[in-house]
Chains A and B, each alone.
Chain A
Amino acid sequence: MKDDATFHDAKLQELAQRLGARAAERLDVERTAQAVVARLREERSAPLRGTWTWRRPAWLKIAAALVIVAGAGLVARSMWQTPSGAPAPVETVDLSDMSAPQLRELLRSLEQPGAPEPVSSQDVGLEDLSPAQLRTLLASLEEQT
Chain B
Amino acid sequence: MPPAEPVAAVPSPTDAALIAAWQGGDEQAAAELVRRHARALARFLAGAGAPEADLDDVVQETFIRAFRAVGRFRGQCRFRTWLLTIGGNVLKDAHRRAKRARVVPLADDLRSSDGDPHERAVAAEAEGRLGEGLERLPRLQREVFLLRAQQGLEYEEIAAALGTTPGAARVHYHHAVRRLKECLK
**A interface residues (Cβ-Cβ under 8 A, vs B):** 8-9, 11-13, 15-37, 39-41, 43
Q: Tell me which of B71-79, B143-151, B156-164 binds A.
A: B143-151
Q: Nearest residue in A to B22 (C-beta to C-beta)?
A: A40
Q: Nearest residue in B to A13 (C-beta to C-beta)?
A: B149
Supposing A16-B146, A19-B127, A20-B45 touch, asked if A27 and B27 sit within 8 A by C-beta, the answer is no
**Contact A15 B130, beta carbon cutoff 8 Å:** yes
Q: Which of B89-128 contact A (CB under 8 A)?
A: 105, 109, 112-113, 123, 126-127
What 5 A-B pairs come out closest when comparing CB atoms? A20-B46, A16-B149, A24-B42, A33-B34, A23-B46
Shortest CB distance B57–A (Å): 9
**Contact A9 B177, beta carbon cutoff 8 Å:** yes
Shortest CB distance B60–A (Å): 6
With A and B bound together, what is the CA distance between A77 and B142 in angstroms? 50
With A and B bound together, what is the CA distance between A138 and B42 in angstroms? 54
**Contact B150 A27, beta carbon cutoff 8 Å:** no
Q: Nearest residue in A to B66 (C-beta to C-beta)?
A: A36
What B residues does A9 contact at CB under 8 A? 177
With A and B bound together, what is the CA distance between A26 and B52 in angstroms? 9
Instruction: From A20, A25, A29, A30, name the one whose CB has the most chain B CB atoms within 10 angstroms.
Output: A20
With A and B bound together, what is the CA distance between A2 and B146 in angstroms? 24
Tell me the total A-B contact number using a CB cutoff of 8 A. Answer: 108
**Contact A37 B30, beta carbon cutoff 8 Å:** yes
Shortest CB distance B77–A (Å): 20
**Contact A27 B55, beta carbon cutoff 8 Å:** yes
**Chain A contact surface mostly:** helix
Supposing A27-B56, A28-B56 touch, asked if A8 and B181 sit within 8 A by C-beta, the answer is yes
Q: Nearest residue in B to A34 (C-beta to C-beta)?
A: B31
The reply on B88 being an interface residue by CB < 8 A is: no
Extra A-B contacts (6), CB below 8 Å, given A22-B112, A32-B34, A32-B56: A19-B146, A20-B47, A23-B52, A24-B55, A32-B63, A37-B34
**Contact B184 A27, beta carbon cutoff 8 Å:** no
With A and B bound together, what is the CA distance between A21 and B41 in angstroms? 10
With A and B bound together, what is the CA distance between A33 and B113 in angstroms? 27
Supposing A30-B35, A36-B30, A40-B30 touch, asked if A21 and B43 sit within 8 A by C-beta, the answer is yes
Partner of A23, one of B28, B30, B55, B68: B55
Shortest CB distance A49–B (Å): 15
Residue contacts A-B, CB under 8 angstroms, 18 given: A8-B181, A15-B126, A15-B184, A17-B150, A19-B146, A20-B46, A23-B55, A25-B39, A27-B38, A27-B55, A29-B34, A32-B59, A32-B63, A37-B27, A37-B30, A37-B31, A40-B67, A43-B68
